[in-house]
A and B are shown apart, each in its own frame.
Chain A
Amino acid sequence: MASKKFLLGIFGDEDILLEGVPAIREKGVKIYDIFTPFPIHGLDEVMGLRESKLHTAGFIYGITGTTLAFGFMTWANTFDWNVNFGGKPFWAVPGYIPITFELTVLLASAGMVATFMYLCRLAPGIEKHIFDLRQTDDKMVVAIEIDEHTDVSSVTSILKANGAEEVNEKTFDDWYRYKIM
């Protein structure tokens, strides 16, 4: 039973949040994550998040689709079973392109969705960690993980000084358990 404790700074305005986050990070406070009810442009930058690697995965899935489709049709039509379609050559590249394209798109998109869901632990029925119910309504929640070295009172005052409306603590008793309904 691994429990995790978090300090939550609740913000009510995205502009205050965007200015507060760099100031909080400058003080040496490590932000675990920020939860917002709507996308905030530029938040990833001020949080110092690295660029997502999801599109690299997408590229690899896409190339796999290209190779699979093109390779299979080449093998089937030229080596395994020659069929004369309307006098076209057996290796009729222009005719392969639509299918190659479709399979590239299919594998890239389906693969990216699956990877995204895996990385974010998203699937129907998986219980998520809810830090504060208002994070889906009108508040932005800055979560800071508390361990034995964290000076809770100083982090609290840093959060308050940089625009947090309130600061709460939240404990998850069994962090690593994903309850499936």
Chain B
Amino acid sequence: MGHHHQEFDLNEKYTFSPKLKQLSLILIVVGLVAFAAGAFMSKDNSTRIIADLLQNTVFFTLICLISVFFIAFNYMANAGWSVLIKRIPEAISQMVPIMASILGVLMLYIVFAKRSDIFMWLDISVIKNAETRELLEAKSGFLNVPFFLVRIAAYVLVWSLCAVTLRKYSLEEEKMPAGSLKYWRKSTYLGGFFLVFFAVTISTSTWDWLMSIDTKWYSTMYGWYVFVSALVSGISMIMLVIQYLRSQGHLKNITDEHVHDLGKFMFAFSIFWTYLWYSQYMLIWYSNNPEETIYFRQRMDHYKVLFFINLILNFVSPLLILMTRGNKRKAKVVVFVAAVIILGHWIDFYQMVMPGTIGNNWTIGLMEIGLPLFYIGLIINRTFTQLEKAPLVPKNHPYLNESLNHHV
């Protein structure tokens, strides 16, 4: 649009508001205390504690990682509209090294303590059923401890390095003279590398951490399905941060147009998630092989409420609420849907982890509520501390002007 006489404030800075900082610290403390209390109360059932840690750590690692993916695909697509919101995924992405390290430590524990209650393949020798044993031995070319550790190390290192380096390039770009394309080029190359690495590892990592829980079962849709689950939650999280900043009077250059585009992502990827969820479900329902249907049988019999809530929160609500153009542009509506989506996909992850670990008797207690609060507090704290460190507008990005004048 012809904003030719409009003045843009390109030097906008953010300072972490004490109130929000306090809230993040409260969330961290309350979450930790609740988790510890919950863990203490179920200390006889350590499977539940590890499963809870596994579910939440994987979930929050992946949705932070989506921010790196977001930056990378916008570089690769030569996208201009997203330049003004770039600082937000950048700030969230700085959580990746922390989350990935926590995850690494957790995995080391699971592997070295031989927690075959989590990953059955960790200890084949104790399995009595000959058929199961044969099956797991056939899979041991991929699911064996040394290779598993190598993969974990690769994910943690490369993902973290890419997140940190993309951020570093972006901050270096600030210091360059106007019109310099050096760091833009570097970021594009690194983004390209990350996308290739991510494309493979987002599948393999979900096989490792989630699908291998139900070791005997497998699905070729699984990697994609978990990826999109994380993608739509990650974009919702970016949306929540943007809307919070806007409600505090920041990000004045970001208009309804940018929000509308992010809203389209939330809408479209919710549909795409449903497509993958359904494709996986229908093929198994249709072919009706007992060793495959057991996965859904267990979830539909014993996790019935969550099974259907999952579809309502993640499919029906974004579909109906975000369908109209007007709703994608209303701050309150998109914030509500973003929160619903994150909750919904948390439930989705809960269902991926729990039936194969703790079995059919599940309860949402202090522990299950405490740990997400802890991670959310951590993410808020880290994200907004990072936002402080750089101006909110990447003023040397070559596509800045396109983003300033973005119009859907």
- Pick the contact of B282: A18, A19, A45, A95 (CB < 8 A): A95
Chain A residues with CB below 8 A from B278, complex form: 94, 97
Q: Is the CB of A19 within 8 A of B2?
A: yes
Interface of A, helix, strand, loop or mixed by DSSP: helix
Q: Which of A41-93 contact B (CB under 8 A)?
A: 41-42, 45, 51, 55, 59, 86-87
What is the bound-complex CA distance between A41 and B408, given in angstroms? 8
Q: Is the CB of A18 within 8 A of B2?
A: yes
B interface residues, tally (CB under 8 Å): 14
Q: Which of B1-49 contact A (CB under 8 A)?
A: 1-2, 4
What is the bound-complex CA distance between A94 and B284, given in angstroms? 11
Q: Which of B321-358 contact A (CB under 8 A)?
A: 323-326
Chain A residues with CB below 8 A from B285, complex form: 94-95
- Pick the contact of A42: B286, B325, B326, B407 (CB < 8 A): B407
Q: Which of A93-124 contact B (CB under 8 A)?
A: 94-95, 97-98
Chain B residues with CB below 8 A from A19, complex form: 2
A174: CB under 8 A from chain B?
no
B298: CB under 8 A from chain A?
no
What is the bound-complex CA distance between A94 and B325, given in angstroms? 30
**Contacts known (A51-B325, A86-B288); A42 close to B2, Cβ less than 8 A:** yes
What is the bound-complex CA distance between A86 and B288, given in angstroms? 9
- Binary B-proximity of A18-40 (CB < 8 A = 1, otherwise 0): 11000000000000000000000
Give A56's nearest chain B residue, CB to CB.
Answer: B324
Chain A residues with CB below 8 A from B307, complex form: none
Chain B residues with CB below 8 A from A87, complex form: 288
Smallest beta-carbon distance B394→chain A, Å = 23
What is the bound-complex CA distance between A98 and B274, given in angstroms? 12
A15: CB under 8 A from chain B?
yes
Q: Is the CB of A59 within 8 A of B323?
A: yes
Chain A residues with CB below 8 A from B282, complex form: 94-95, 97-98
Q: Which of B122-167 contact A (CB under 8 A)?
A: none
Chain B residues with CB below 8 A from A59, complex form: 323
Chain A residues with CB below 8 A from B222, complex form: none
Q: Is the CB of B286 within 8 A of A15?
A: no
Smallest beta-carbon distance A54→chain B, Å = 11
Chain A residues with CB below 8 A from B407, complex form: 41-42
B281: CB under 8 A from chain A?
yes
Smallest beta-carbon distance A105→chain B, Å = 12
- Binary A-proximity of B163-183 (CB < 8 A = 1, otherwise 0): 000000000000000000000
**Contacts known (A41-B407, A94-B281, A94-B282); A15 close to B288, Cβ less than 8 A:** no
Smallest beta-carbon distance B219→chain A, Å = 15
- Pick the contact of B1: A18, A86, A95, A97 (CB < 8 A): A18
A interface residues, tally (CB under 8 Å): 16
Chain A residues with CB below 8 A from B326, complex form: 51
What is the bound-complex CA distance between A55 and B282, given in angstroms? 30
Chain A residues with CB below 8 A from B323, complex form: 59
What is the bound-complex CA distance between A136 and B281, given in angstroms? 51
Chain A residues with CB below 8 A from B4, complex form: 15
Give A93's nearest chain B residue, CB to CB.
Answer: B285
What is the bound-complex CA distance between A98 and B275, given in angstroms? 10
Q: Is the CB of B286 within 8 A of A95?
A: yes
Give B275's nearest chain A residue, CB to CB.
Answer: A101
Chain B residues with CB below 8 A from A14, complex form: 2
Chain A residues with CB below 8 A from B1, complex form: 18, 41-42, 45
Chain B residues with CB below 8 A from A86, complex form: 288
The listed residue with most A CB atoms (<10 A of its CB), out of B1, B278, B325, B407, is B1
Q: Is the CB of A15 within 8 A of B325?
A: no
Chain B residues with CB below 8 A from A98, complex form: 282
What is the bound-complex CA distance between A18 and B326, given in angstroms? 23
Smallest beta-carbon distance B225→chain A, Å = 16
What is the bound-complex CA distance between A15 and B5, given in angstroms? 11
Smallest beta-carbon distance A15→chain B, Å = 5
Chain B residues with CB below 8 A from A41, complex form: 1, 407
What is the bound-complex CA distance between A105 and B281, given in angstroms? 21
Smallest beta-carbon distance B153→chain A, Å = 40
Give A52's nearest chain B residue, CB to CB.
Answer: B325
The listed residue with most A CB atoms (<10 A of its CB), out of B2, B286, B324, is B2
Smallest beta-carbon distance B182→chain A, Å = 31
Give A41's nearest chain B residue, CB to CB.
Answer: B407
Q: Is the CB of B2 within 8 A of A94?
A: no
Chain B residues with CB below 8 A from A55, complex form: 324-325
Residues of B within 8 A of A (CB): 1-2, 4, 278, 281-282, 285-286, 288, 323-326, 407
**Can you offer 14 A-B residue contacts whose CB atoms are under 8 A?**
A14-B2, A15-B2, A18-B1, A18-B2, A42-B2, A45-B1, A55-B325, A59-B323, A86-B288, A94-B282, A94-B285, A95-B286, A97-B282, A98-B282
Q: A18-B2, A95-B282 are in contact. List 10 more A-B contacts (CB 8 A).
A: A14-B2, A15-B2, A19-B2, A42-B407, A51-B325, A51-B326, A94-B278, A94-B281, A95-B285, A97-B278
Cβ-closest 10 pairs across A and B: A42-B1, A18-B2, A41-B407, A15-B2, A94-B285, A94-B282, A41-B1, A42-B407, A19-B2, A15-B4
